[in-house]
Amino acid sequence: METGFDLDEENVRIGLLVGRVNQGLRKGEGEFNRFRTKLLPEFDSWNQWERWKDFKNWDLKGITALVLYIFVAIISCQRLYAVVRAPLRDRERKQLTEA
């Protein structure tokens, strides 16, 4: 019985796809290692407390980082507040629909 599939052609396509995936993984692993060994220690040394506590010597990077940290904190707090308030809001919504 013939199914209409050429398995040899599909095996070649799958082999090419697997090759591209492996190549992408190797490239990603290299980028991750670069981030772990170079960029993360640089950020850690830049982000030490001694640089933050002297306001007079702040550069543009410090101000930008502070604004970014505040923005992330606000968004996180809003999401946490929404999660905490969700059961109460659902209960109020249920009471309104029942009334």
- pLDDT tens digit sequence for 56-90: 777 887 788 889 989 999 998 998 888 888 889 88
**Contacting residues for 54 by C-beta, under 8 A, at least 6 apart:** none
Task: Specify the pLDDT at position 1.
Answer: 45
Q: Which residue has the higher pLDDT, 93 or 99?
A: 93
- pLDDT tens digit sequence for 43-60: 777 777 777 787 777 788
The beta-strand segments (E) located in 1-99 are none
Alpha helices in the chain (DSSP H): 7-34, 40-46, 49-52, 60-98
**The tokens of 73 are what?**
């904190």
- pLDDT tens digit sequence for 7-50: 778 788 888 888 888 888 888 888 888 777 887 787 777 777 77
